[in-house]
A and B are shown apart, each in its own frame.
Chain A
Amino acid sequence: MPETETVFDEIFRLLTPEKLLRDPRATGEGVSIALIDSGVERSVLENKFGDTIHPIEGAVFRADQPTPSPYTGHQSSPHGTTVADIVLTIAPRVKIYSADVFGPTGTCEVETVIKALQYASDVWKCKVVNLSLGVPESKLQQLPKRHQFLKAIEEGYYKDVLIFAAAHNEHPIMRSYPAAFSTPLISVDKGLFEDPTQFAYKLRDTVEFQAHGRGYLGPFAREPATSWATPHLAAIAARLLSLRPEMKPFEIKTLLYWMFEARKMDPKGK
């Protein structure tokens, strides 16, 4: 028996991923993203984007300091600036908050990331968090520490904060946190796409999505990396959020999944 068309089929035919992303309002306007990374060199991005971007704000988090230090507009490492550049390239009207957690240790300390996560949701009121730096599993051998981290991720989820985390940042076969907590956040692997706003749903043990793995600024930006894939997807989510800011994390996740499926069905996005 042939299926009868419903009004929703008609709506879905009109609604395509490309229409959503090309909507003039889908610029990231009204959306704040926290980049928990190695800091952002503000002048580099201001030189590149000029007045078209919102002023970049932020704070510097250190394991040995209970409260964050003021952001001075500088990076602890160029990594964070390349990440910010990707976000602004895809969603130029996003408001960026730089949470510099790189610090003297040169790696992500769990306690520092947790502090930055809480600050991003409670103080900056960010709806999207990008975590391109991963905490290797070796640093989370203690179960209470791992639970503490998971709890912070869960809390973010219940505060309607969508967290994007680079998958397997440390090593291709090593689990990396928080991407391993794939349920309350979106873990992102690297892939290569003709259009940087394209992405794929690739459910594996701890990975859900693949996004474009090349950046645009810095000598290593062309090197495919999960660090560059994650801000691509975070920026796409920001664009969707500027269309409907009240969306919950699970709704955005569902929308991303639907966009991938819809593109599979209609690659040209007519």
Chain B
Amino acid sequence: MPETILIVDDEETVRRTFRDWLTGSGLNVEVQAVADAESALVFANSHSVDLAVLDWNLGTGSDGLRLLEDLVEFHPDLVAILVTGFAHQATPLEALRMGVRDYLDKNQDLNRESFIAAVRKQLERIAPAKRQRQFQRGLLQFRQSVEKILPLVQSTAALNDPLPLPDAVRNLFRFLIRSTGAVDGVLLARHVSPEGAERFMAFRPDGQPLTQLAVPFNRSLAATVLSMNEVCVMSAADLGTLGPVELQPVEKNRQHILAAPIPVAPGTHVVLELFDKPGGFTPDDRKLVAASAEFSSELLRQAMAERQNRRLLIDAVEAALHASEQATASLPSSQEPEADEPLPATVMDRLRAGLKESANPVVDSETSLQLAEEIRELAIRHGPAAVRHCIGLVKSVRGLLDETTGT
């Protein structure tokens, strides 16, 4: 992005000369030349200005130093070159404080070479600082965006955490109730996080969660069913010997209970319970539910895999946020990371760990990361069009392989 130079001089010939020198210099700059302080301020109000070349004496009682003071209000990082006929009379300290970085004396050394050299010298300082400011502004915006979106993403995931109940399972649940003739049922789910926190919850056949479970997992009927690892049937007579078991409110006063364990993943278990088939559950009901339990188990595993992918996204966003904080804190004022620099190792490590935990290991984590990194670099170096072209190529290869293999 070119730097913008604002020339302010009341003499038209001087403005034209400076403009010609700059446009013929080969410097990557945009030049705006105005005659007075008012025009300069109007321009600065609506445009960015990186370097101002100001005449010390602008006429009509106005001077360049005062104008600079006003311009800095619009652009605090603005630097200036002051053009004067009496440089020895300038007040260097005050001028330096206000952003004047050089003087050119109209009466002594001002010619094309000295002018371009002075401008070039300032631009060499301005350009990196400007890029760094832009980078930091971008980083700040990115962080603000992530900080805003992260709680949303996390809370969305929390709605499904720790166990998603996909539509397919709800439908299957309702199907089993109809097929067996049960009058009601409940799906109990227990999840233990890697940190050891246990959650025990229940869902109605319509998928709505039951607000409260009165009995903890370790004394529940569901825990027994999970331990037995097979479909169990209980009648009212069996309820007379509860022993180490307590019944949830939804299980009390039932005449018949058929319960099936549905193992989903280590630390996540589900038990399906059907209630009160008139006349009691039959061996055929037991077989049907056993077969359905295996199917439900697979459906829930898939739902868990989807949740894992969401977790991966959250991990990546959190890692990016963490990395941006570190980058902001560690960036010295004169240092700017290269645009095509590899992602920080911490980000890569967290992505790699997340990918390894993914329940859908079609491609190993290293290959996934390599592909993502290649696409990222392609986008940085050659833009979105190159990425679109790449997508087209992938589709072509897939089509070719599908055709070749007959899939």
Contacts and interface: CB of A to CB of B under 8 A. Distances in A.
Contacts of A134: 229
Contacts of B223: 38, 76-79
A76 B245 contact: no
Contacts of A216: 241
Nearest to B243: A217
A156 B225 CA distance: 29
B218 A105 contact: no
Contacts of B232: 220, 223, 225
Centre residue among B225, B226, B227 by max chain A CB count within 10 A: B227
Interface in B226-266: 226-230, 232-234, 237-239, 241-245, 247, 257, 263, 266
Interface of B: 190, 192, 196, 198, 217-221, 223-230, 232-234, 237-239, 241-245, 247, 257, 263, 266-267, 269
Centre residue among A37, A41, A82, A104 by max chain B CB count within 10 A: A104
Nearest to B265: A105
Given A170-B229, A225-B230, A104 B245 contact: no
A75 B217 CA distance: 10
Interface string A218-240: 11111101010000000000000
A interface secondary structure, majority: loop
Given A106-B267, A106-B269, A107-B226, 19 more contacts: A75-B218, A76-B223, A78-B218, A78-B244, A78-B245, A79-B224, A81-B243, A82-B243, A104-B267, A105-B267, A106-B263, A107-B266, A136-B229, A169-B229, A218-B243, A219-B238, A219-B245, A220-B225, A221-B238
A256 interface: no
A85 interface: yes
18 contacts: A77-B217, A78-B219, A78-B245, A104-B196, A106-B192, A106-B269, A133-B227, A217-B244, A219-B224, A219-B234, A219-B238, A219-B247, A219-B257, A220-B238, A222-B234, A222-B237, A223-B233, A225-B230
A54 interface: no
Contacts of A48: 243
A58 B366 CA distance: 45
Given A219-B239, A220-B228, A104 B192 contact: yes
A221 B243 contact: yes
Interface in A187-243: 216-223, 225, 227
Nearest to B219: A78
A176 B198 CA distance: 28
Please provide the 6 A-B residue pairs with the shortest distance between their CB atoms, ordered closest to farther.
Answer: A79-B227, A104-B192, A217-B243, A77-B223, A81-B244, A78-B244
A80 B263 CA distance: 19
Contacts of A13: none
A77 B224 contact: yes
A151 B267 CA distance: 27
Nearest to B236: A219
A140 interface: no
B241 A217 contact: yes
Given A104-B192, A106-B269, A219 B241 contact: yes
A218 B244 contact: yes
Contact of A77 (B196, B227, B241, B267): B227
A169 B230 CA distance: 8
Interface residues of A, number: 37
B218 A74 contact: yes
Interface of A: 37-39, 41, 44, 48, 74-82, 85, 102, 104-107, 133-134, 136, 169-171, 216-223, 225, 227
A82 B241 CA distance: 11
Contact of B230 (A76, A171, A218, A222): A171
Nearest to B259: A220
A79 B224 CA distance: 5
Contacts of B229: 107, 134, 136, 169-171
B224 A218 contact: yes
Centre residue among A37, A76, A81, A106 by max chain B CB count within 10 A: A106
B233 A77 contact: no
Nearest to B268: A106
A267 to B, nearest CB: 30
A39 B223 CA distance: 12
B244 A104 contact: no
Given A219-B234, A220-B225, A220-B232, A107 B263 contact: yes
A226 to B, nearest CB: 9
A48 B243 CA distance: 9
Nearest to A74: B218
A38 B218 CA distance: 9
Contacts of B238: 219-223
Contacts of A106: 190, 192, 226, 263, 266-267, 269
A69 to B, nearest CB: 12
A171 B260 CA distance: 12
Contacts of B269: 106
A221 B241 contact: yes
Contacts of B239: 219
Contacts of A74: 218
Nearest to A104: B192
Contacts of A80: 227
Contacts of A171: 229-230
Nearest to A40: B244
Nearest to B251: A219
Contacts of B234: 219-220, 222-223
A77 B192 CA distance: 14
A221 B266 CA distance: 26
Contact of A218 (B192, B218, B237, B241): B241
Nearest to A84: B244
A133 B267 CA distance: 17
Nearest to B221: A219
